[in-house]
Amino acid sequence: MKLSQTEEQLMQHLWRLEKAFMKDLLEVYPNPKPATTTIATLLKRMIDKGYVAYTLYGKSREYYPLVKKKDYFSKHMNGLIKNFFNDSASQFASFFTKETNLSKEELEDLKKIIDSEIKKK
């Protein structure tokens, strides 16, 4: 199940912090900060979806991610390629390199990464 945009934003904070109590999560949001009840609702939904868990310390909960950022991003990107680029990584790469404002240096870096992956296979 996919995260909503607000859940994904909260997940980004949780990935960065690795473990956090409610007060820690609220601190990382810019002003105006969301209400504690809003964060609590998001966390409950994320727990129900299997993305977050917590450890109970008395009445306090320390939240932590169950899904690694890399794994979430990889699944998200694969879905994007499947749904928008006819399951073709080549179409995605073509779109990405033509439609983004990458510098020559960035394109060269991408080429090195691709060449390195080709050598591994």
Beta bridge partner(s), residue 7: none
Length of the chain: 121
Beta-bridge partner residues of 57: 60
Predicted structure pTM score: 0.74
Q: Where are the domains of the chain?
A: 5-65, 69-120
- Phi, psi angle pair for 63, to nearest 5°: -90, 150
Say whether pLDDT at 6 is over 80: yes
Whether the per-residue pLDDT at 80 is higher than 90: the answer is: no
Fold of 5-65: Arc Repressor Mutant, subunit A (1.10.10)
- Strand ranges for 20-103 from DSSP E: 20-21, 52-57, 60-65
Q: List, for residues 28-74, the tens digit of each pLDDT value.
A: 999 999 999 999 999 999 999 999 999 999 999 999 999 999 999 88
CA–CA separation, 10 vs 3, rounded Å?
10
